[in-house]
Structure 1
Amino acid sequence: MAKAARSASLDELARSLRGDHDAWLGHVGGAAGCSHPIRLAGLIHHVEAATGRITAERHTAEMPDGVLYTPCGNRRASVCPGCAETYRADTFQLVTAGLVGGKGVPVAVGEHPCVFLTVTAPSFGPVHSHHTDRAGRARPCRPRRQLEHCAHGLPLACFERHDEHAADVGRPLCLDCYDYPAQAVWNLQSGELWRRTMIAARRALKALAKRYRTKLRLSYTKVAEFQHRGAVHFHALVRLDGLDPHDLDAVLPPDPRVGANHLATILREAIEDTAFTTAPHPARAQGWSIAWGKQVDPRPVRLSRLDLDDAGEITTLAVAGYLAKYATKATELAGHASTRLRPDTVREHARLDTHPGRQVDVCWYLGTRPGTADANKWAAGWGRLQRWAHMLGFGGHFSTRSRRYSTTLGALRQARRDWRRQHAPRPDEDDELADEDTTEVIVSSLAFAGIGWHTSADALLANTSAANARARRRAARDELDSITA
């Protein structure tokens, strides 16, 4: 270990002493904060849009390291903190635009009724939990006056005061009693349950709008979060808009007689009333019943810079930061982290003596296509359990939104690319023709050349440069806030 560290330090020193050190840092700047950048090799053409004439041509072999570096774009903070931070910031901008306007959304949406909604999965068996009282002190996990035991002889009580990050939090009191198949299927079907819930909410909203003789529409964004027990639950920001039947793209204020309390009631009733039964499975001919858990929390959102007011209303910055933070997390909180599993790698993770291992095992088992005798009970969707076994059965997107809530992640990324191209230094800035009104497009013919930095020293230099750049931007924002305050 010490020898490798000395080698990296020597490589870093050698790179910094080379004449092209500054050019190399500028070349890798776009991917400097990435842990596993993608290397591309090939030709880059500058083409005059009006005539199709190639004005410049360059091969990546002429560039530092002979390749182009592009960020991996992974949203998971445990895989690539740099790209996850970019994803988090983009999600924050997307959520905030739908709350207070901007990015093509009118500022008037800040006055629309909003509800921050949290919905969870039902219970699949008793688990160890972290509880606190009003003073923030830890409470006993599962106290019982009369001690009972499960069918396997284990006590169904726990008097420990678990820390929030304790290893036992989320672990079942009895692994053999826990309903792993039901949880795996619930994770798989949770996206469909959300879709049906929104349909029910829109129907109820339509009836409410008819009563007030107006037109209303729901717009939302949501993120999925894994609990310690491995079940998915959703956090959503639901906004109430007016509707113009002749201009469906317009974002209008709703009727002032309909407020956040009406919206919260509609959402709560839709959650309580929505349930369905899955298709039959060879392991359960009657299918599984899919419904929400009892923990439903619709809270009005207030336009403010405070985190939480005395009335218990969560504020815009708090909810935007909350949703953005959980958009970069996945199964790590449940104790499992892996890439997509294959028949030769699943046994490494499907350990029956651990809670995450049993979840992986049951996803793989339920997702295995049965023999011909049970083929008539097999539904095509069950194979997704095996495909998403590394995600404990959940195969949906972690961050989704309705069409007219706000902008898109793609639009934010394109705006960032356009800004970089616009502010990138050009070799012909001093040329007399530099001010001529010409439009050029870049046509690239690039091929995959590898993943990661060439050396650990390169990774250290690039990441340090990116960290310094982030610190400078943060200091500039703080200085600007202090001036405008």
Structure 2
Amino acid sequence: MRDLIRLANDPGYQRWLEQMRDIGGCAHPVYLSGYSVTRDVSTGEILVSYSTTDEPGDRLAVRCGNRRASVCEPCSRLHAGDTYHLVRSGLSGGKSLPEQVRGHPRLFVTLTAPSFGPVHRATGVGEVCRFRRGDPVCEHGEPLGCDLAHSDTDELVGKPLCVACYDYVGHVLWHAHGGRLWDRFTTAVRRHLASSQGIPRSELGDHLVVSFAKVAEYQKRAAVHFHAVVRIDGPGGPESPPPDWAAAELLTEAVHQAARSSNVAVPESDAYGLERVGWGQQIDVRPIGEFADGGGLSDEAVAGYVAKYVTKGAADSASGLDHHVHGLEEIQRAAVSSHLRALMATCWRLGALPELEPLRLRLWAHSLGYRGHILTKSRRYSTTYSALRAERADHKRRSAGVADDPNAVKESSWRFVGSGHTPGEALMARSIANDIARNREEARAALADYGGRWPDDAGWV
């Protein structure tokens, strides 16, 4: 409360509020000090100038830009919006892509990790977790069944029935090779499409282009699985139609075949007996749009689904921690489940093996050995995050009445001077973020009442 009173009585309080509104109530802003000057190249005249000299504390607040909702919810919302447009433009067009991509074969694919041992699972009404006749036990004396009915929020969901039986080494090594396994999968899809028509793999690009956009999600058992959009274009990319033989049915067959055949060799070691890793048995392939045949997904639903999972952090998923760890003692103190601590400890121990040094398991122990990006895409699938952010910056400049001048040159100098909030600032920033979120939801609800567009006489800008 004292800090809140101090903040409200500060002479620069109103300007600080303006800065917080400009960055959407960011939970962990970065502060910069410096200046920028825009001059006319020919005359040297100063067109626009800005300096933090007159700002509170001689500093300017900028967004932290963290994608994880558990770290900064306001910035994660912005990242989710960018992800939505990135994925949706690859399905419906827009953002430099033609609308005709909507007519190309497109699938929504889910690939899972294999089983590393039985775990408790959420059940429906009247269904038990794992029914076993005769109450059998494993070699360690633990029950092989569970007669309980678990809800989605039950802490037991995702945890092994027997910790000693669970293949923690296999789990960690599967994560460590997940990126390479995905690469093998995409190569196998293209190989199957080429072989189905008797085309050499090296010449497939003369007939079509296969594009992907995938997001990684941690399941309750703390194993990553991948949701991916797969699209076939013509040889010219999104602007050209694919050949008639490249239909959604053939693409579905190629996905299933690639998931069954792709695998990655694991470095040999006397510490474990694992030789290869591959995909799990659960594979879901669903058509998108006009290829739905009554059971498909809309472009908006797929884009929203991907955007939802790309912002997940340790607070709302079984993904480990938001920061690196530096030893077994820190892992044991981590405020996560015993299952996650066991996975991180396995990463730490395996990271000491010389044959596994290239996997850098200790560096990625906080993410349970998974070292891939949360979202990746093919170069030609759609636009980029950089392009979306540049477009947003241009829009803000135009809204502020700043026109682009080809004869202007910009000179700037910035330095980092701090980050984060004091307790009072954090409270006010959270209030601003909540107001913005509430206004957004109200605007979205109003938009839905008008069928997805504002009426001509609404009077809103």
C-alpha deviations, 1:407-449, integer Å up to 9, x for none? 01111111111211222267xxxxxxxx996754443211111
Match of 2:60 in 1: 68
Cα deviation, residue 356, structure 1: 0.8
Matching of residue 312 in structure 1 with residue 300 in structure 2: no
Matching of residue 324 in structure 1 with residue 307 in structure 2: yes
- Taking the aligned partners of 2:444 and 2:167, their CA distance within structure 1 comes to 49
Is the contact made by 1:27 and 1:64 (CA closer than 8 Å) also made in structure 2? Answer: no
The match for 1:235 among 223, 227, 246 is: 227
- Taking the aligned partners of 1:466 and 1:154, their CA distance within structure 2 comes to 48
Match of 1:292 in 2: 279
- Taking the aligned partners of 1:138 and 1:89, their CA distance within structure 2 comes to 39
Cα deviation, residue 331, structure 1: 4.2
**Count of aligned positions:** 446
C-alpha deviations, 1:22-59, integer Å up to 9, x for none? 43333333323211001111233333345566556544
- Taking the aligned partners of 2:44 and 2:194, their CA distance within structure 1 comes to 53
Aligned CA distance change for structure 1 residues 105 and 437 (closer, same or farther; 3 Å): closer
Match of 1:445 in 2: 413
Matching of residue 462 in structure 1 with residue 450 in structure 2: no
- Taking the aligned partners of 2:450 and 2:44, their CA distance within structure 1 comes to 48
Match of 2:110 in 1: 118
The match for 1:164 among 118, 132, 152 is: 152
Aligned CA distance change for structure 1 residues 421 and 459 (closer, same or farther; 3 Å): farther
The match for 1:102 among 73, 89, 94 is: 94
Match of 1:360 in 2: 344
* AA at the equivalent of 1:174: C
Q: Which runs of 5+ in 1 are unaligned?
A: 1-5, 371-377, 427-434
Aligned CA distance change for structure 1 residues 251 and 291 (closer, same or farther; 3 Å): same
Cα deviation, residue 482, structure 1: 4.0
Match of 1:430 in 2: none
3-state DSSP of counterpart to 1:88: helix
The match for 1:403 among 379, 393, 398 is: 379
3-state DSSP of counterpart to 2:431: helix
- Taking the aligned partners of 1:189 and 1:438, their CA distance within structure 2 comes to 48
- Taking the aligned partners of 1:218 and 1:424, their CA distance within structure 2 comes to 41
- Taking the aligned partners of 1:127 and 1:154, their CA distance within structure 2 comes to 12
- Taking the aligned partners of 2:337 and 2:55, their CA distance within structure 1 comes to 52
Matching of residue 151 in structure 1 with residue 139 in structure 2: yes
Is the contact made by 1:351 and 1:358 (CA closer than 8 Å) also made in structure 2? Answer: no
The match for 1:423 among 396, 399, 405 is: 399
- What is the 5 A alignment of 1:103-252? 103-132=95-124, 137=125, 139-210=127-198, 215-244=207-236, 249=237, 251-252=239-240
- Taking the aligned partners of 2:335 and 2:433, their CA distance within structure 1 comes to 39
Is the contact made by 2:24 and 2:436 (CA closer than 8 Å) also made in structure 1? Answer: no
Is the contact made by 2:325 and 2:331 (CA closer than 8 Å) also made in structure 1? Answer: no
- Taking the aligned partners of 1:259 and 1:466, their CA distance within structure 2 comes to 46
TM-score, length of structure 1 as denominator length: 0.84
3-state DSSP of counterpart to 2:222: coil
- Taking the aligned partners of 1:437 and 1:190, their CA distance within structure 2 comes to 47
The match for 1:272 among 260, 267, 290 is: 260
- Taking the aligned partners of 2:436 and 2:313, their CA distance within structure 1 comes to 28
Task: Report percent identity of matched pairs.
Answer: 37
- Taking the aligned partners of 2:408 and 2:428, their CA distance within structure 1 comes to 33
Is the contact made by 2:76 and 2:311 (CA closer than 8 Å) also made in structure 1? Answer: yes
Cα deviation, residue 73, structure 1: 1.0
Match of 2:9 in 1: 14
Q: Say which is worse superposed, 65-74 or 54-63, in terms of deviation.
A: 54-63
3-state DSSP of counterpart to 1:47: strand
3-state DSSP of counterpart to 1:156: coil
C-alpha deviations, 1:65-115, integer Å up to 9, x for none? 321111111111111111111111110111110111000010011111111
Aligned CA distance change for structure 1 residues 126 and 109 (closer, same or farther; 3 Å): same
Is the contact made by 2:328 and 2:348 (CA closer than 8 Å) also made in structure 1? Answer: no
- Taking the aligned partners of 1:396 and 1:227, their CA distance within structure 2 comes to 16
Aligned CA distance change for structure 1 residues 335 and 348 (closer, same or farther; 3 Å): same
Cα deviation, residue 477, structure 1: 4.7
Match of 1:373 in 2: none
Match of 2:327 in 1: 343
Cα deviation, residue 152, structure 1: 1.1
Cα deviation, residue 160, structure 1: 0.7
3-state DSSP of counterpart to 2:182: helix
Aligned CA distance change for structure 1 residues 42 and 269 (closer, same or farther; 3 Å): same
* AA at the equivalent of 2:364: W
3-state DSSP of counterpart to 1:341: coil
